[in-house]
């Protein structure tokens, strides 16, 4: 533990793995996170079962790794800790199947707090409810573990019936490798609201809109789509890598003085006070539950709006230009194959 940060951070020495010693863990789902948690825990000596539908295409992959597979209800009945790693939009339905098997003192665990925070799952008072959320896609959680490294993670306790919820969640975090890198304490509310905000405003929504608007501005002004693609999309990775490695100054120090001066004087004109007001509005919709309600209804209606907006994104000219240009690079093909090989097929 360290007091240099405002948040409590746990490392391997803070964890007592005996909290999982007599525990059977059921991992529901064998996708991005599910396969990584199940395999890492198995190799850490934890007794793991995997819960999948009878007709799941992931069954074979899990069994090929020597994991015992059953339906969610079957494995939940045998386990004392149930880790819910099916997609967020079907968790409530899968929860209905396992609820009858939640016994006194069991743990219901998540890797994202959405369904608990917005009351789509309402667990009984006699179980612990915790979260261990690796801050990275599952294939990296797996790869890091195999390389003897860790993936930073978040830990939160929503309901502590046993008085041991934190220790058990920490033991789980250690078993999947997160404690090697550091486990940050948070709450379900903070994890959900900051996660939604980050993906909507900066990471997924903000960045793609910035790229498209920049691209369109250049193409509309008569520049070639290829030049626009390289400037507004391709080079983004180099910039982000520098910020990831060494922060904003590492990036500014690595680009030319012209780029630094132009960027520092123009950036805030692009993402200006209007953008800031929009960010605050979006945060408000997350906090008051409007976004969650919209998304739940969208799913109940069969995703009509989502399907449409997704198609429009796919049809954007930058996608076609990018596909042609990327095929000129041999590395891009290798990278895709490499990544695809490590994530089991979804079903």
Q: Looking only at residues 122 through 161 of this chain, which bind ligand NAD when binding is defined by CB under 6 A?
A: 133-134, 137-138
Question: Does 30 help bind ligand NAD (rule: CB under 6 A)?
Answer: yes
* Binding partner at 138 among ligand NAD, Mg ion, none, C-beta below 5 to 8 Å by kind: ligand NAD
DSSP structure string for 289-344: THHHHHHHHHHHTTSHHHHHHHHHHHT-HHHHHHHHHHTT-HHHHHHHHHHHHHSP
Question: Does 98 help bind ligand NAD (rule: CB under 6 A)?
Answer: no
Calpha distance 115→291 (Å, rounded): 13
User: Which stretch, 35-43, 189-197, 262-270, 312-320, contacts Mg ion (CB under 5 A)?
Assistant: 189-197
Report, in Å, the least distance between residue 290 CB and ligand NAD: 20
CA distances from 112 to 80, 87, 128, 244 (A): 20, 10, 15, 23
Calpha distance 286→201 (Å, rounded): 11
Calpha distance 75→38 (Å, rounded): 13
Q: Rank residues 98 and 232 by Cβ distance to ligand NAD and give the closer one.
A: 98
Q: Looking only at residues 316 through 335 of this chain, which bind Mg ion when binding is defined by CB under 5 A?
A: none
* Binding partner at 78 among Mg ion, ligand NAD, none, C-beta below 5 to 8 Å by kind: none
Report, in Å, the least distance between residue 87 CB and Mg ion: 13
Question: Is 37 a known active-site residue?
Answer: no
Report, in Å, the least distance between residue 125 CB and ligand NAD: 23
Calpha distance 168→105 (Å, rounded): 11
* Binding partner at 195 among ligand NAD, Mg ion, none, C-beta below 5 to 8 Å by kind: Mg ion
Q: Site map for Mg ion, 195-214, x if CB under 5 A?
A: x-------------------
Question: Does 111 help bind ligand NAD (rule: CB under 6 A)?
Answer: yes
Q: Rank residues 178 and 321 by Cβ distance to ligand NAD and give the closer one.
A: 178
* Helix ranges, 138-289 (H): 138-146, 165-175, 178-181, 188-197, 205-220, 225-229, 236-254, 257-270, 273-287
Q: Rank residues 59 and 142 by Cβ distance to Mg ion and give the closer one.
A: 142
Give the number of residues in contact with ligand NAD, rule: CB under 6 A. 26
Q: Looking only at residues 35 through 54 of this chain, which bind ligand NAD when binding is defined by CB under 6 A?
A: 52-53
Calpha distance 156→29 (Å, rounded): 21
* Helix, strand, coil content of the chain in percent (nearest 5): 60, 10, 30
Calpha distance 132→183 (Å, rounded): 9
For residue 100, the 8-state DSSP code is: G
Question: Does 85 help bind ligand NAD (rule: CB under 6 A)?
Answer: yes
Question: Does 263 help bind ligand NAD (rule: CB under 6 A)?
Answer: no
Asked if 26 and 81 count as a contact pair (C-beta separation under 8 A), the reply is yes
Backbone phi and psi for residue 116, each to the nearest 5 degrees, phi listed first: -75, -50
Q: What is the tally of helices (H) and strands (E) in the chain? A: 18, 9
Q: Active site residue: 35, 37, 112, 139, which one? A: 112
User: What does the H/E/C string look like for 287-304?
Assistant: HCCHHHHHHHHHHHCCCH
Q: Rank residues 128 and 195 by Cβ distance to Mg ion and give the closer one.
A: 195
Q: Rank residues 135 and 316 by Cβ distance to ligand NAD and give the closer one.
A: 135
CA distances from 145 to 70, 140, 342 (A): 25, 8, 13
Question: Does 197 help bind ligand NAD (rule: CB under 6 A)?
Answer: no
Report, in Å, the least distance between residue 200 CB and Mg ion: 10
Structure tokens that stand for 220 in this block: 């509309």
Question: Does 32 help bind ligand NAD (rule: CB under 6 A)?
Answer: yes
Query: Which residues are part of the catalytic machinery?
Result: 112
Residues within the interface to Mg ion (CB under 5 A): 195
Residues within the interface to ligand NAD (CB under 6 A): 28-34, 52-53, 56, 58, 72, 85-88, 90, 94, 111-112, 133-134, 137-138, 346-347
């Amino acid at each position: 533990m360290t007091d240099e940060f405002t948040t409590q951070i746990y490392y391997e020495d803070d964890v007592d793995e005996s909290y999982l010693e007599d525990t059977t863990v059921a991992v529901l789902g064998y996708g991005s996170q599910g396969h990584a948690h199940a395999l890492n825990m198995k190799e850490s000596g934890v007794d793991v079962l995997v819960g999948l539908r009878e007709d799941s295409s992931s069954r074979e992959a899990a069994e090929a790794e020597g994991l015992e597979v059953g339906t969610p209800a079957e494995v939940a009945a045998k386990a004392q800790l149930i880790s819910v790693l099916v997609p967020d939009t079907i968790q409530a339905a899968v929860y209905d199947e396992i609820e009858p098997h939640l016994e006194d003192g069991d743990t219901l665990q998540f890797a994202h707090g959405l369904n608990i925070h917005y009351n789509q799952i309402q667990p009984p008072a006699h179980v612990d409810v915790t979260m261990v959320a690796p801050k990275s896609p599952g294939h990296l959680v797996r790869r890091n573990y195999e390389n003897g490294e860790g993936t930073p993670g978040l830990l939160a306790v929503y309901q502590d019936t046993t008085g041991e919820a934190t220790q058990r969640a920490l033991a789980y975090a250690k078993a999947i490798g997160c404690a090697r890198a550091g486990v940050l304490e948070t709450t379900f509310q903070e994890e959900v609201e900051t996660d939604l905000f980050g993906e909507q405003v900066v990471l997924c929504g903000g960045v793609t809109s910035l790229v498209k608007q920049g691209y369109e501005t250049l193409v509309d002004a008569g520049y070639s789509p290829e030049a626009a693609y390289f400037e507004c999309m391709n080079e983004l990775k180099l910039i982000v890598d520098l910020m990831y490695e060494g922060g904003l100054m590492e990036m500014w120090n690595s680009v030319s003085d012209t780029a630094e001066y132009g960027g520092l004087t123009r950036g805030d004109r692009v993402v200006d006070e209007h953008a800031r007001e929009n960010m605050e509005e979006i945060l408000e919709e997350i906090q008051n539950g409007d976004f969650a309600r919209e998304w739940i209804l969208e799913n109940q209606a069969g995703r009509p709006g989502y399907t449409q907006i997704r198609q429009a994104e796919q049809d954007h000219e930058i996608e076609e230009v990018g596909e042609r240009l990327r095929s000129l690079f041999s590395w891009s093909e290798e990278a895709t194959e490499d990544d695809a090989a490590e994530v089991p097929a979804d079903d």
